[in-house]
Amino acid sequence: MTVDAQPVTELPDPADYGFTVVPEEEIPAELASLVERVRSLMDAAAHTEAPPEALAAAADAVAKAEELIQGGRRQLGAMVRYTYPDGSIEYGTITNGVSGPVNPLAPPLLLEKDGEGGIRGEVLLNGLYQGPPGLVHGGWLAALLDQALGTASSVAGMPGLTANLDVNYRDPTPLNVPLEISARVTGTERRKVFVSGEIRHGGKVTAEGTAIMVRLSLPE
Ligand SMILES: CCCCC/C=C\C/C=C\C/C=C\C/C=C\CCCC(=O)SCCNC(=O)CCNC(=O)[C@H](O)C(C)(C)COP(=O)(O)OP(=O)(O)OC[C@H]1O[C@@H](n2cnc3c(N)ncnc32)[C@H](O)[C@@H]1OP(=O)(O)O
């Protein structure tokens, strides 16, 4: 396979393209804690069997909480800048639906470099991500793989968009247990970056995927 999709030495800075960039370490602790609280609230709301009066009182309290944080809304495409322990930098959308640090919908997914050119991470999916009883929804597994595959391409210096994603489900993936995610670049051809990755539970692959990421072609 030819190697034309050369890694760039420095990632493009989204600020040069008009996006707000928030360094991860500058996300207020109070916001992180609110997001965690909302995640927990979503799980509680999805599973509650509390009586109607309690539900009505809870809805009122949530409406009040929402009022408190209105006014001042972040730019839709705002990005977060992560600095890895080796000093290298990575960008993501701050509200990314799979890994955005301020998005309560995103399961807390932290991806780090695996020391061999790829990335790895751990995630625990609760009942909010359920498909079949007790099992993770296949769409969420595909989303997690997509994110990991995109990040693998990006940390290799070749950020891009997913053109094609191919997922195989090998074994049911249980809820409420730690899952391991890994991904790496396997080849390049012109702007195409080929990536592969897996989700494992207890060392066993439950879902695996490959993708073709097409490197961003940015205006000069
Ligand atoms: C703006 C500044 C920002 C700076 C950012 C800095 C840093 C990083 C930022 C972000 C990236 C980091 C992490 C992202 C992590 C995760 C995100 C998850 C991933 C996603 O959630 S992402 C959303 C879903 N994704 C889409 O929304 C894509 C919609 N789509 C398109 O936007 C176009 O379709 C595109 C761009 C894909 C290609 O369009 P294009 O015009 O640029 O290129 P073109 O068509 O010429 O294709 C070039 C070569 O790819 C081959 N090719 C094309 N399509 C193919 C296919 N389907 N299957 C097999 N091969 C295919 C061609 O055959 C040709 O190959 P060949 O060289 O052999 O001829």
Distance 65 CA to ligand 1 centre (A): 39
Residue 73 lies in a domain: no
- Show the domain range for 193: 105-215
Distance 147 CA to ligand 1 centre (A): 14
Atom 30 of ligand 1: nearest residue by CA position: 163
Identify the CATH number of the domain in which residue 110 sits. 3.10.129.10
* Burial class of residue 33 (count of CB atoms within 10 Å of its CB; 0-12, 13-18, 19+): exposed
Helix (H, G, I), strand (E, B) or coil at 188: strand
Distance 217 CA to ligand 1 centre (A): 9
Q: What is the pLDDT of residues 31-71, one digit of tens each?
A: 999 999 999 999 999 999 999 999 999 999 999 999 999 98
Counts of helices then strands in the chain (DSSP H, E): 3, 9
Residue 139 lies in a domain: yes
Atom 55 of ligand 1: nearest residue by CA position: 163
Q: Is 147 in the pocket of ligand 1 (CB under 6 A)?
A: yes
Residue 45 lies in a domain: no
Q: What is the pLDDT of residues 60-111, one digit of tens each?
A: 999 999 999 998 899 999 999 999 888 989 999 999 999 999 999 999 888 9
Number of domains in the chain: 1
Residue 142 lies in a domain: yes
Residue 10 lies in a domain: no
Largest pairwise CA distance in the chain: 65
Distance 181 CA to ligand 1 centre (A): 22
Residue 133 lies in a domain: yes
